[in-house]
Amino acid sequence: MCGRFVSASPPDQIARYFDAVPDGERTLEPSYNVAPSNDVYAVLSDGGVRKLETLHWGLVPFWAKDPSVGNRMINARAETLADKPAYRRAFRKRRCIIPADGFYEWQKIPGQKHKQPMFMHRADGEPMAFAGLWEVWRPKERPEEELHSCTIITGLPNEKVAPVHDRMPVILPATTWDQWLSPEVDDVDLLGSFLVPAPSSLIDLYPVSTEVNSVRNKGASLMERVDPEAASP
């Protein structure tokens, strides 16, 4: 899964990297520990133009009675997108890219109860392009108050991530961005072919402090490499 990630790059920098237009209405504070239910940046396609917008992390299907259902939909499994009612419409028409500077996973330590948090990022220092879906939800009583939300798609891990966790975010290469973002593309077989593990050579990872375990901690020090023994509680 992907339950925490880093989003600390300025929006204008993210927009330039993804050749997108920032909406200019809202700027998020840098966070080195983005958690479910936080707002996040996402790249969408609007009339063929890429736009950088802010979405609620935790997808709320259009048919949901209550937005709290999004708390259980921070991740969507790549293998079942075309079939699950919560995701199949968005998979065909509402796809997005969620930019990230890296993400965290927790590795089991043999013989110990606690897990070691690991930070994973691109070895070349460039942003990650998480494959995502987005939706629009409107409360029946106030349909004019739209909630735009998203989920991160996860798939099988590559060889480098597998010892840490059995899932990882799908990271899209730039060659797929146009088709992935286009609402005109609805070939689920083609789209599904993009949802494969990123090459192991793309990823670097190392242990970080257990301070990241608390969602209240958001600072840059969470990304610093530590001695695993020193990171133990």
Question: What is the set of domains in the chain, with CATH numbers?
Answer: 5-228 (3.90.1680.10)
Instruction: Please determine, for residue 85, whether its predicted confidence score (pLDDT) is greater than 70.
Output: yes
Average pLDDT of the chain is: 94
Neighbouring residues of 75: CB distance < 8 A, sequence distance ≥ 6:
1, 2, 3, 151, 152, 153, 154, 167
For residue 154, the SS3 value is strand
For the annotated catalytic residues, the residue numbers are: 2, 105
pLDDT tens column, 14-63: 999 999 999 877 899 999 999 999 999 999 998 889 999 999 999 999 99
Instruction: Please determine, for residue 233, whether its predicted confidence score (pLDDT) is greater than 70.
Output: no
Q: What is the pLDDT of residue 229?
A: 66
CA distance linking residue 169 with residue 183, whole number of Å: 21
Q: What is the pLDDT of residue 153?
A: 98
Q: What is the pLDDT of residue 145?
A: 83
Name the band, by pLDDT with cuts 50, 70 and 90, for residue 77.
very high
Mean pLDDT score, 209-219: 96
Q: Is residue 204 a contact partner of residue 120, using CB atoms and an 8 Å limit?
A: yes
The region of weakest confidence among 44-48, 135-139, 171-175, 229-233 is 229-233
Instruction: Please determine, for residue 232, whether its predicted confidence score (pLDDT) is greater than 60.
Output: no
pLDDT > 70 in the chain, percent: 98
Q: What is the pLDDT of residue 111?
A: 85
Mean pLDDT score, 151-168: 97
pLDDT tens column, 160-212: 999 999 999 999 999 999 999 999 999 999 999 999 999 999 999 999 999 99
Instruction: Please determine, for residue 8, whether its predicted confidence score (pLDDT) is greater than 80.
Output: yes
Mean pLDDT score, 76-98: 96
CA distance linking residue 178 with residue 185, whole number of Å: 9
**pTM score, whole prediction:** 0.95
